[in-house]
């Protein structure tokens, strides 16, 4: 049951990422379309990595090795995603600084949750430990999904003039996400 919830949570996180928006790198202010491209690119890479990481947890045979490997992969993918998010800069919109603050906050939250997952599986040495670690992992993944959704709701609320929405529609990296969903 816990393994199924874990798989469902990962799938939900991936779906949220595809539906929500779009990634990359920059420093200060970035054109809104470049910012959206960077965000969408980072999301695409991260969700693909999460999907790969969770493959070993599907099918019912969750072991110490598969759980530890998946946790390591989630942590690594999330660390890269966090670096990408923090490197975005701010979009060149009226609410650009607020958008950057929201995305940076998401990065910090995701980093914390990935560390929680890593810590939960650190001491796993038996099947009983795997069963004990799964609820913590599942809760952290659910938290990641919620934080992701909350951030994109915040971005939508900041976008009174529709500048970000237009940028997401024009950004090539975002088009590939919406076509995949």
With pLDDT > 90 as the criterion, what percentage of the chain qualifies? Answer: 35
Question: SS3 of 58, please?
Answer: coil
| CB count in 10 Å sphere of residue 123 | 9
Region 85-104: mean pLDDT is 91
Residue 179 — very low, low, confident or very high, per pLDDT cuts 50/70/90? low
The answer to whether the CB of 91 falls within 8 A of the CB of 164 is yes
Q: How far apart are CA 157 and CA 162, in angstroms?
A: 10
Which residue ranges make up each domain of the chain? 2-180
The DSSP output letter for 29 is E
Query: Comparing C-alpha atoms, which of 151, 27, 32, 22 is closest to residue 87?
Result: 27
Given a cut of 50, whether residue 6 has pLDDT beyond it is no
The answer to whether the CB of 26 falls within 8 A of the CB of 34 is yes
Tell me what pLDDT residue 78 has: 95
List pLDDT tens digits, range 104-146: 999 999 999 999 999 999 989 988 898 899 889 889 988 988 9
Residue 152 tokens read as 């994109």
Tell me what pLDDT residue 27 has: 44
Residue 181 — very low, low, confident or very high, per pLDDT cuts 50/70/90? low
Sign of CA dihedral 53, 23, 118, 143: negative
List pLDDT tens digits, range 47-67: 888 888 877 777 667 888 888
Residue 4 — very low, low, confident or very high, per pLDDT cuts 50/70/90? very low
Given a cut of 60, whether residue 1 has pLDDT beyond it is no
pTM of the full structure: 0.77
The DSSP output letter for 124 is -
Tell me what pLDDT residue 131 has: 86
Tell me what pLDDT residue 60 has: 67
Q: How far apart are CA 99 and CA 101, in angstroms?
A: 5
Region 74-87: mean pLDDT is 93
């Amino acid at each position: 049951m816990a393994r199924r919830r874990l798989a469902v949570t990962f799938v939900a996180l991936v779906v949220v990422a595809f539906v929500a928006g779009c990634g990359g790198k920059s420093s200060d202010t970035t054109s809104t379309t470049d910012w959206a491209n960077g965000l969408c690119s980072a999301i695409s890479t991260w969700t693909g990595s999460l999907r790969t990481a969770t493959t070993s947890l599907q099918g019912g045979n969750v072991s110490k090795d598969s759980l530890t490997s998946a946790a390591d992969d989630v942590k690594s993918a999330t660390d890269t995603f966090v670096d990408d998010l923090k490197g975005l800069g701010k979009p060149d919109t009226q609410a650009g600084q607020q958008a950057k603050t929201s995305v940076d906050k998401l990065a910090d939250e995701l980093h914390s949750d990935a560390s929680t997952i890593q810590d939960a599986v650190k001491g796993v040495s038996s099947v009983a430990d795997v069963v004990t670690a799964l609820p913590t992992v599942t809760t952290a993944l659910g938290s990641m999904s919620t934080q992701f959704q909350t951030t994109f709701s915040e971005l939508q609320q900041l976008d009174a003039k529709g500048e970000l929405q237009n940028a997401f529609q024009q950004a090539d990296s975002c088009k590939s996400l919406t076509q995949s969903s």
